[in-house]
Structure 1
Amino acid sequence: MSSENARTVLAAKRPASPMLGVVVVEGLVDAIVSGRFLPGESLPPEGPLSEEFGVSRTVIRESVKRVEEKGLLTVARGRGTVVRPMTAWNPLDRAVLTSLIKHDETLGTLDELSTVRAQLESVMAAEAARLRNDGQLEALDAAMDRMRETVDDEAAFRAADVVFHETVMELSGNRLASSIARILMDRAQESSRYHGVDVPGAFTLTLREHEAVHAAITGGDPERAREAMTSHILESWQRRRLPNRAGRSPS
């Protein structure tokens, strides 16, 4: 066998790049969430999908399985692969939640995300106020000091903001709530629409809200910590929330 033929055989046996599957999965999720394929409709056969994405049928087959695991698809006898209703989707899945935020014209998904995040983090703030000890409070003090030091530096302040919230989660000891809240926060942070536009003095207002949470936790007041965290997350979102794409401001 010539060296040229050997290289051809090796190339043919080389497995497809995992990134191809990621691109196809995200593309299929996007197509479903955007409404290109509606609930109850069947996906096109493997052949047309293979041509559309420029990948092998094997990659399509594996990608469809991944999307099925996310709750968006099911195999129906005699109908092939069918899109499931939105109520069956896994909204905490990275690709699904990212696409829901991306295709939501009204920003309602981000509204819901902020509400759920506020509920989770307010519970953790209350638990942190109830369970905190001196050693743990040192970490919270350091996070608060870092926010004060960076209030005039946007990038550093945003990073310090995240650290503060993560510290409160750690203090709470609630691993499940912390895991869900981190997923929501991470997906939101990826969206420019979540960051919106900061009003004048926004960082100063945000700092004061964090100071209220900090004071309640260090003071051992669970109810005040709960209220301060809820108020901070919801009010800061409303301050920077953009009008939706239809040009309407939030109610």
Structure 2
Amino acid sequence: MWTLFTDHGKSLLTASGLTAALLLSGCATTGGGLDGETAQGNTSRYEGQKAGGAASDSDAVHIPPVPHDPAVEKVAQQAMGEYARALQTRMAGNDQQALVMFQSLAERYPQLSGPRLNVALIYMQKEDWEKADQAFRDCLTVNDANPYCHNGLGLALREQGKFDDSRMHYQRALSLDPKYARAHFNLAVLGELYLQDLNLALTHFQAYQNLQKQPDTNVANWIADLKNRAPDAPSAQPVAGNGAGQHNGDVN
């Protein structure tokens, strides 16, 4: 599988089989902003995540798969070279040029969700939440089983204050892949800072932590704090085991 970028921004130009390369699944760099950040104008303990931190440094060795129609694999192969160039352009920091390239790919390869996902991620980095929202929805119109699109839409909805809808899309991402570490992290942040649902936050920080090869110190502290404050702290961690043994070539 080609996974050119994970959705937390690490470049991984590796290949162990071409066609799954996204179907154009949408693994893509974001440049930050995919973690918990400021809640309703107040300084948050997650503010630092925008530039790195726990979720960006996740060592979970699992990449959520993107189910797709086998009939479009030949189309994905045709688009792969241009898609890789667009990702390289994005990695080089030329976001506007990359945006034009991804938009062109989306128009010429309407069967593929990856180009639309990358369009959405670029709009997210620009903090243009309405355009990001629409681009994520366009991605889901092509492939409703793309967990990256649901996770990204959850973030765009959160930034627009649509917290219940945000939760729904995070949960959809996790129903597609329960080991999607980033979606667990984002849902936990939503639960604590925006929904004031401490049990939800605890459950998903624990799930995120369980997916790491090495426990994240910051997350461990947040879990301990939530256990003290949550009215009905869950006794069991929802994801059994970490990513060990699940490695499929790259980190997520």
TM-score by length of 1: 0.25
Question: TM-score with structure 2 length normalisation?
Answer: 0.25
Q: Which of these two proteins has the greater Rg computed from alpha carbons?
A: 1
Higher share of residues assigned helix? 1
